[in-house]
Amino acid sequence: MAELPPGGSPQPGEGVPGPPSGCARLRAVEPVLLLATLALGVQTPLLTQYLWTRLANGTQGGSGGCANGSGAGTPAGQQDVEAVVAHWSLYINLAGFFVGLFSVTLFGPWSDSVGRRPVLILPALGMALQAAAYLLVMYLQLPVGYLLLGRILSGLSGDYNLILAGCFAYVADVSDKRSRTLRVAILEACLGLAGMAASIIGGQWRKAEGYLAPFWLVFAASLCAALYAAFCLRESVSQRQRGRLFTFRHYLAVYRLYVDPGRGSAWKKLALYSLAFFLVVTVHFGTQDILILYELSSPLCWGSDLIGYGSAARYLTYLTSLTGLWLLQRCMADTWVAEMGLLSNVLGLGVIALAATTPLMFTGYGLLFFSMAATPVIRSKLSKLVNENEQGALFAAVACTEGLCSLVATGVFNSLFPASLHFMKGFPFLFGVIVLLVPAAILGWIEIRDSKPEYSHFEDLPSPVQEVAD
């Protein structure tokens, strides 16, 4: 393995693109995540609303919305719109998942050899292509099926999940084990900061200008993320070598994380933490997918501005969770901080499930103030279980888990939502509360089991009487 020159940038011809010699290189990966999350935060709720607007014209319900003179005239027509939009959301997510599953596990381990910057540039460009495809559909009024093309283009380049994997692997490269949980939490707080801004901007901008202008922002933010990673970001992998991209070895690197016999009992913790992460993120994605539909329809009947404020309140939980984690780390173990985060999630979703008024809905959002504390703790614990040269493979596996979470969440919650409209509209949120009890039990069991040796070793010491007798 050849060592690179100071600064971590390869020389021309070594296979990994470097920034121009006159560009100041930074070790801050946060702008990449901020810009990519801004793009995703603007795009996701507006795409759901765009589908609502377009698809409602093809149902018996009229133009969608609530029965207030501008929407569906009957509850049955409104439910038809909700069901069609939920199903199209499922199709679009499926298209991205099956393509992204192979690209993320290919690019992630590859970054352990060639560096993190390439796996940040490619998916950002893919997101820009996806936004361009969406703009063509809107400008030309093409059938909504063409939205799948943009989703596939983004999936081929790794999509947003690869950006997450690259950013978290970058942080693992530049942090020690003691500070890693807080560093990961800071990175996740960037998700909330960008998402909160995106929600407010997207909702208000769509109300004033329609869909086209906000999606131009999505395109510009994605392109800026790619340019920053290409020209301004310093590489975090200090020793790199030329690595083949299209090789089965990258998939084996992810597979070996969980089956390598040399890890001892660590593979069990990897599996259990991965399961806990899967369940927590599945509930998060699933409830987020249906929140827009839940707020658009009766009895809430929110418009774009209230939807934007609601999304901003949801993203604000990233910042409040970071603050709480920083304070609570001083007096308790990371696992118990995560348990408190799960409790906050349970309480918030329980209130939202019963919310029939705007104040009660925002009360539910308020109770979610600490709900994002669990995921940075789990990411950090996973990162500490593998070697430094396996961070890319690990976070590629985590990214695939997140992609699977998106698929399962969309399939379960987007199918459960229309099916439960006739007996309890908020039932999917109660279902999420029940699911969260499982990761809470897993995290608690591992923490209690790991803490036992600290005390049980005293039981093996001989008593003073035995020492005298000996």
Per-chain mean pLDDT for the chain: 80
Q: What is the CATH number of the domain that holds 272?
A: 1.20.1250.20
pLDDT above 70 covers what percent of the chain? 82
**What pLDDT score does 300 carry?**
83
Task: Please report whether residue 455 resides in a domain.
Answer: no
Does 163 reside within a domain? yes
CA distance 302 to 388: 47
Domain hosting 99: range is 30-63+76-234+264-448
Q: Which residues of the chain have pLDDT under 70?
A: 1-24, 57-79, 239-248, 250, 261-264, 452-470
pLDDT value of residue 34: 93
Q: Give the pLDDT of residue 359.
A: 92
**Nearest by Cα to 254 from 371, 136, 107:** 107
Domain presence at residue 283 = yes
Q: Do residues 395 and 168 touch, judged by C-beta distance below 8 A?
A: yes
The predicted structure's pLDDT at residue 241:
66
What is the per-residue pLDDT for 10?
Answer: 41
pLDDT recorded at residue 195: 77
Instruction: Give domain status of residue 88, yes or no.
Output: yes
Identify whether 292 is part of a domain: yes
Residues 6+ apart with CB under 8 A from 258: 267, 270, 271, 274, 397
Residue 273: inside a domain: yes
Structural domains in the chain (count): 1
Dihedral through CA 195, CA 197, CA 198, CA 203, nearest 10? Answer: 130
In-domain check, residue 22: no
Total residue count of the chain as it appears in this document: 470
Tell me, yes or no, whether 256 lies in a domain: no
